[in-house]
Amino acid sequence: MRVSIKIIIAALFVMSAPIAGQAQDANPAKAETAAPKVQVESRLERQVRNIASLLRCPVCQGESVYDSHADVAVEMKTLIAEKITAGETTEQILTYFKDRYGNYILMEPPAEGLHWVIWIFPGFMALLGAMFLVQHLRSSAKAEQQRFEEQAKSKEAPGEIEELSL
């Protein structure tokens, strides 16, 4: 019974595929004319999104320029688009904003100077925690083994020892 239901579902999927394909190709002429324009726009938009996501909206709380709809963020996105069109690289555009707003404008602080602390700190803490954990487990395992050995050596009944080892 289960198998037959699976077969029916699979068959439905297979049958629906050509229908979906037909629906997409319903108006091929329109799709062809619209396609190039959409492609050009989306490429620029993608580039703007990539850069705007790296920048912090100056008037928002922890929001990127891309996510923000504030006036200043909208103007920044327009400027980014203009700069991309003018052939500027991502690095050049980020430097432009960094030179005017400082490192604060970057969503991720650069790994330089005192900022290294921020970058190293989580890794350092994880390492410290791992070392502490290993140390703790080792010592507790050792203590457990010692206790077990002591118990084994004691004059207790063999049945009890078997129980412990289980």
Question: Applying CB under 8 A, which residues contact other proteins?
Answer: 58-59, 71-72, 75-76, 78-79, 98-102, 104-105, 117, 124-125, 128, 131-132, 135-136, 138-139, 142
Q: Report how far residue 148's alpha carbon sits from residue 71's, in angstroms, rounded to the nearest whole number.
A: 71
Q: Report how far residue 35's alpha carbon sits from residue 65's, in angstroms, rounded to the nearest whole number.
A: 28
Q: Report how far residue 54's alpha carbon sits from residue 94's, in angstroms, rounded to the nearest whole number.
A: 8
Q: Which is nearer to other proteins, 7 or 72 (CB)?
A: 72
Q: Which is nearer to other proteins, 78 or 85 (CB)?
A: 78
Residue 114: both structure tokens together:
């005192």
Instruction: Report, in Å, the least distance between residue 102 CB and other proteins.
Output: 5
Instruction: Report, in Å, the least distance between residue 88 CB and other proteins.
Output: 14
Instruction: Report, in Å, the least distance between residue 60 CB and other proteins.
Output: 10
Asked whether 83 and 107 are in contact (CB, 8 A), the reply is: no
Instruction: Report, in Å, the least distance between residue 71 CB and other proteins.
Output: 6
